[in-house]
């Protein structure tokens, strides 16, 4: 009879668990364990519930206890492997995944999980083998096809990756991640219309994922035919859909109004060697900590030397990894933050849904994104008069907070790369170049650049980007230039490697060409740092103005073209005066260091002033 009673209790607990009635299920399991403490299933599922409650250490202890009680019970090895993977404890995770597969070698889920871990730690060949094994065991697995596609994509086997993604969609038409991965692949090859169409389909599926909607908003900014007003409408739709799927937290704020120090939180996945960090580090280093207490909230388990510096810069550094939006909002609210700043917008690993919970009385978006978030709970979008002129305020759901001069300030690169003499003096011809993400190099850009090459005798074009490690993409690009009369010999291509080699590559070009409508930002400042002026063009929205802002604030306003014809004319004019280019190259770094783009103390003072202005505006509205 005891066995029948145990089975009945387990069945009842499992029924509650499947209904997502976690508290009731936990109560049944705990009662069950008082009578049958040796029940491996109950022990394991208690750990599963603890993990759902956010008690990671409790869940880990429970899974380990289950293994100790019954080393041959397979489930806790997989669950513990998943938990350790989420925590970034990769070597421990691998041990438990492999133990799971030793006990259950025919589990396609087990092979998928091990593949995910190996992919995460960049052991791509082994990861691919795991996914292929999963497909052998479960040929219907849309999940395995998707992740094998990811392995092929990072291995620059894009045609094969596209086939796997499309197979994944055929197997499961309601699998949004497959649409998303295929869209990313196509966008990398400038096939934005197809990518956007796939993402629109994905956000209409029953399984709505905010991060995929963010990707749609991200890629919409690459297409000049999509009006900023349409971008705003889509961003507001994002906010509405997230609100519908997320319980709103009505807890009150815990900030203090009696202290003279404001707590400012920065939320980002990019406190590491990343463009956002390059613009952020020196700013936060120079903020007045007698008036401000700075807290970093990371959403990325990856860390590097830059992360270690940020941990020392911030008064506190906390992780949001693995926390639900409600849990993350509660943490920030409990910290008593006055102003919360989003540094991601709709880029990867953003936590915009946390901002929808309004964990701080004032919220702003800055630096990491170049268009509206659409989140009404974010009060301000920080820009300047160049990137966000007053007649474009209607592009944003946020109120524009304009910083004097420039909205960004760069941190001096650590790489000690010397600026060499102008390459054209030695080569006998001018080399134009673009080191931006190749997704920005659309057909209209190539057509204009081909006109420049046709107009400047003997000139060459050097393109450097991660996507150009794909030989198929290089062949397609050469063919497009060829159809416009430009021979392959005049084109130079490189994938990327180290940051130092990236800076050294600037010593091989004379003039940088800014793409459009998506201008460079980090690459433009780094180009100037290496003595290479960049030619940009006026635009009609934030991301098309970033070249203007950088050029104006570095004393290079003459390099801003009014339109395509002026862009062509200026390219011809500047490339015809090598002595002027050589003189500019030798002085540009010194000039840049004296500009607002590198004056971190002045910028920090302006930024701090803006923080207190936003705070006093809030106080006056109360």
For the stretch 526-585, pLDDT in tens is 999 999 999 999 999 999 999 999 999 999 999 999 999 999 999 999 999 999 999 999
Distance CA 111, CA 350 (A): 29
* Residue 1: per-residue pLDDT: 36
* Residue 172: per-residue pLDDT: 96
Q: How crowded is residue 565: how many other Cβ atoms within 10 Å of its Cβ?
A: 11
- Sequence-distant (6+) residues with CB within 8 A of 620 are none
Distance CA 613, CA 262 (A): 12
Three-class SS string for 516-585?
Answer: CCCCCCHHHHHHHHCCCCEEEECCCCHHHHHHHHHHHHCCCHHHEECCHHHHHHHHHHHHCCHHHHHHHH
For the stretch 181-209, pLDDT in tens is 999 999 998 899 999 999 999 999 988 99
Of 570, 569, 568, whose CA–CA distance to 557 is shortest? 570
pLDDT band with cut points at 50, 70 and 90 for residue 426: very high
Percent pLDDT > 90 in the chain is 80
CATH number, domain 263-411+601-621: 3.40.50.11380
Q: Is the pLDDT of residue 32 over 60?
A: yes
Fold assignment, 423-597:
Rossmann fold (3.40.50)
Bridge partners (DSSP) listed for residue 294: 264
Q: For the chain, where do the domains classified as CATH 3.40.50.11380 start and end?
A: 263-411+601-621
* Residue 49: per-residue pLDDT: 81
pLDDT band with cut points at 50, 70 and 90 for residue 48: confident
For the stretch 330-354, pLDDT in tens is 999 999 999 999 999 999 999 999 9
Integer Rg of the chain from CA: 27
Q: Is the pLDDT of residue 591 over 70?
A: yes
Contact between 78 and 97 (Cβ < 8 Å): yes
- What single-letter DSSP state applies at residue 395? G
* Residue 19: per-residue pLDDT: 65
Superfamily of 2-245 according to CATH: Tetratricopeptide repeat domain (1.25.40.10)
Q: Is the pLDDT of residue 52 over 90?
A: no
Q: For the chain, where do the domains classified as CATH 1.25.40.10 start and end?
A: 2-245
pLDDT band with cut points at 50, 70 and 90 for residue 26: confident
Mean pLDDT for 114-119 is: 96
For the stretch 384-418, pLDDT in tens is 999 999 999 999 999 999 999 999 999 999 888 99
- pTM of the predicted model as reported, rounded to 2 decimal places: 0.89
Q: For the chain, where do the domains classified as CATH 3.40.50.2000 start and end?
A: 423-597
Between 22-36, 105-119, 358-372, the lowest mean confidence (pLDDT) is in 22-36
pLDDT band with cut points at 50, 70 and 90 for residue 5: low
For the stretch 207-251, pLDDT in tens is 899 999 999 999 999 999 999 999 999 999 999 999 988 776 666
Peptide bond into 119 cis (omega under 30): no
For the stretch 238-297, pLDDT in tens is 999 999 887 766 668 888 777 678 999 999 999 999 999 999 999 999 998 889 999 999
Q: Is the pLDDT of residue 455 over 70?
A: yes
Instruction: Report the SS3 class of residue 206.
Output: coil
Distance CA 17, CA 232 (A): 40
Instruction: Report the SS3 class of residue 342.
Output: strand
For the stretch 461-506, pLDDT in tens is 999 999 999 898 999 999 999 999 999 999 999 998 889 999 999 9
* Residue 38: per-residue pLDDT: 77
Contact between 527 and 435 (Cβ < 8 Å): yes
* Residue 12: per-residue pLDDT: 67
Question: Cα 445 from chain centroid?
Answer: 24
- What single-letter DSSP state applies at residue 349? T
Residue 536 main-chain phi, psi, to 5 deg: -125, 180
- Sequence-distant (6+) residues with CB within 8 A of 283 are 409, 600, 603, 604, 607
pLDDT, averaged across the chain: 92
């Amino acid at each position: 009879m005891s066995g029948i009673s145990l089975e009945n209790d387990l069945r009842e607990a499992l029924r509650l668990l499947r209904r997502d009635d976690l508290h009731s299920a936990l109560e049944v399991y705990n009662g069950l364990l008082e009578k049958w403490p040796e029940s491996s299933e109950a022990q394991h599922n208690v750990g599963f519930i603890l993990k759902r409650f956010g008690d990671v250490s409790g869940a880990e202890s429970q899974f380990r206890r289950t293994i100790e009680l019954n080393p041959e019970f397979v489930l806790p090895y997989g669950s513990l492997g998943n938990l350790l993977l989420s925590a970034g404890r990769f070597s421990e995770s691998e041990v438990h995944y492999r133990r799971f597969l030793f006990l259950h070698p025919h589990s396609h889920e087990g092979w998928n999980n091990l593949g995910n871990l190996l992919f995460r730690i960049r052991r791509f060949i082994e990861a691919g083998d795991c996914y292929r094994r999963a497909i052998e065991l479960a040929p219907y697995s849309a999940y395995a096809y998707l992740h094998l596609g990811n392995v092929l994509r990072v291995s620059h086997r894009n045609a094969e990756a596209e086939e796997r993604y499309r197979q994944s969609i055929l197997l499961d038409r309601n699998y949004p991640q497959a649409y998303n991965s295929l869209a990313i692949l196509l966008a990398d090859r400038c096939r934005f219309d197809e990518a956007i169409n796939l993402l629109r389909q994905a956000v209409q599926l029953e399984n709505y994922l905010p991060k995929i909607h963010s990707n749609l908003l991200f890629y919409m900014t690459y297409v000049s035919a999509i009006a900023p007003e349409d971008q705003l409408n889509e961003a507001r739709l994002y906010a509405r859909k997230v609100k519908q799927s997320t319980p709103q937290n009505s807890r009150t704020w815990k900030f203090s109004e009696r202290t003279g120090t404001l707590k400012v939180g920065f939320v980002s996945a990019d406190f590491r060697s990343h463009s956002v960090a390059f613009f952020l580090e020196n700013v936060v280093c120079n903020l007045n900590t007698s008036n401000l207490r700075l807290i970093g909230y990371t959403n990325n388990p990856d860390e590097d030397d830059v992360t270690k510096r940020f941990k020392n810069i911030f008064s506190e550094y906390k992780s949001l990894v693995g926390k639900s939006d409600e849990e993350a909002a509660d943490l920030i609210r409990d910290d008593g933050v006055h102003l919360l700043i989003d540094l991601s917008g709709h880029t990867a690993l953003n936590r915009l849904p946390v901002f929808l919970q309004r964990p701080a009385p004032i919220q702003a978006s800055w630096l990491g994104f170049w268009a509206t978030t659409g989140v009404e709970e974010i009060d301000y979008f920080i820009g300047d008069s160049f990137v966000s002129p007053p007649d474009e305020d209607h592009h944003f759901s946020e109120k524009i907070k304009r910083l004097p001069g420039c909205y960004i300030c760069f941190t001096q690169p650590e790489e000690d790369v010397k600026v060499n003499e102008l390459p054209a003096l030695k080569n006998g011809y001018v080399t134009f170049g673009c080191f931006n993400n190749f997704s920005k190099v659309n057909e209209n850009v190539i057509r204009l650049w081909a006109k420049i090459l046709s107009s400047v005798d003997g000139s060459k074009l050097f393109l450097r980007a991660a996507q150009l490690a794909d030989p198929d993409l290089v062949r397609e690009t050469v063919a497009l230039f060829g159809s416009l009369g430009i021979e392959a010999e005049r084109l130079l291509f490189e994938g990327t490697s180290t940051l130092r080699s990236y800076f050294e590559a600037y010593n091989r070009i004379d003039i940088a060409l800014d793409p459009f409508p998506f201008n460079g930002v980090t690459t433009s400042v780094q180009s100037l740092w290496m003595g290479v002026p960049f030619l940009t063009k006026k635009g009609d929205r934030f991301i098309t103005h970033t070249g203007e802002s950088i050029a104006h604030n570095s004393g290079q306003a003459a390099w801003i073209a009014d339109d395509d014809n002026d862009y062509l004319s200026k390219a011809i004019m500047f490339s015809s005066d090598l002595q002027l280019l050589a003189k500019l190259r030798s002085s540009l770094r010194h000039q840049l260091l004296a500009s607002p783009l590198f004056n971190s103390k002045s910028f920090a003072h302006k930024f701090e002033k803006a923080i207190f202005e936003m705070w006093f505006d809030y106080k006056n509205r109360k």
